[in-house]
Amino acid sequence: MEKKIKNSFIKSKYLSNKHLNYFDVYDDLFKDYIDKDITFVEVGVLNGGSLFMWRDYFGPKARIIGIDLNPAAKKFENDGFEIFIGDQEKPEFWNDFFKQVGMIDILLDDGGHTNNQQIITALNSIKNIKDEGLLIIEDTHASYMKEFGNPSDSSFINFAKKNVDYINYRFPNIGEVKEIFYRNVFSIFFYESIVCYKINRMFCKKNIPVKNQGENLKHKDFRYGDPDKEDTLNELKRALEIYE
């Protein structure tokens, strides 16, 4: 039977606070990592309930790491989890963290949910995620909530929408290259309240036009109508004038 994250959530011996729709997203994103030798990091431990959920779901081969500001989280080291105490909003924390831990497969941010925390976490972890790995920012509904100073131009969700442009700028000569997205992020998935960056450097190349060796039937391009008809030619000329 197919494994479902919701069953692992129900079974967890400590409290976890999630949202119902997230389970379908997790199943969609995580199914290929079950029983694999992965390093999974979650920002936000609180009562530890999600750590036990991930252990049950991914299985014993997974290295599961929790990050929290609250030193009480250290308690879960006794259960086989690695725990780091620190502030996700500080780039120095991330430098130190990745120096100790090395490259990881998945980072899930369920920490403080402020714009800066989410943006700094994303910018500092992307380069440290392996090819075919994932960066997931959860609770992005915070980008629409007053208590997080939103909606605002500097919300996480606006940052993520802008990142879409940087992916498209791999098409030549249409925009400003941003190295971190250009070189590392293959695609970005938007779900309700969750954004997922798929990391794969092999697919982050500049785009180039290509042709196969098939026969050219010299069919006309009808995008402006039939080019042999008088009025179509005029329309085409007008379109080109506008373009120039």
Ligand X SMILES: C[S@@+](CC[C@H](N)C(=O)[O-])C[C@H]1O[C@@H](n2cnc3c(N)ncnc32)[C@H](O)[C@@H]1O
Answer for which of 56, 105, 109, 110 binds ligand X (CB under 6 A) is 110
Sign, CA torsion 220/223/225/231? negative
Stretch that binds ligand X, among 84-92, 155-163, 201-209, 217-225 (CB under 6 A): 84-92
Answer for which of 3, 18, 130, 201 binds ligand X (CB under 6 A) is 18
Cis ω before 151 (30° cut-off from 0): yes
CB of 145 to ligand X, least distance (A): 14
206 three-state secondary structure: coil
Give the single-character DSSP code of 133: E
Answer for which of 8, 33, 38, 50 binds ligand X (CB under 6 A) is 50
115-134 binders of ligand X (CB under 6 A): 117
CB of 32 to ligand X, least distance (A): 22
- What tokens were used for 136? 């997931």
Size of the site for ligand X (CB under 6 A): 22
d(CA 177, CA 169): 6
d(CA 237, CA 225): 12
CB of 170 to ligand X, least distance (A): 32
Stretch that binds ligand X, among 104-112, 152-160, 210-218, 233-241 (CB under 6 A): 104-112
d(CA 239, CA 243): 6
CB of 89 to ligand X, least distance (A): 5
What residues does 133 pair with on adjacent strands? Answer: 199
CB of 28 to ligand X, least distance (A): 18
* Contacts with 195 (C-beta within 8 Å, 6 or more apart), sequence order: 136, 137, 140, 156, 157, 160, 188, 189
Answer for which of 27, 87, 132, 235 binds ligand X (CB under 6 A) is 87
**Residue 112 interacts with ligand X (CB under 6 A): yes or no:** yes
Tell me which residue of 67, 99, 101, 70 sits closest to 83, measured CA to CA.
67
Q: Check if the beta carbon of residue 161 is closer than 8 Å to that of residue 190.
A: no
- 10 or 177, CB closer to ligand X? 10
Stretch that binds ligand X, among 27-35, 87-95, 179-187, 197-205 (CB under 6 A): 87-95
Stretch that binds ligand X, among 65-73, 128-136, 193-201, 230-238 (CB under 6 A): 65-73
H-helix or E-strand containing 72? none
Q: Check if the beta carbon of residue 142 is closer than 8 Å to that of residue 170.
A: no
Residues in contact with ligand X by CB under 6 A are 16-18, 42-47, 49-50, 67-70, 87-89, 110-112, 117
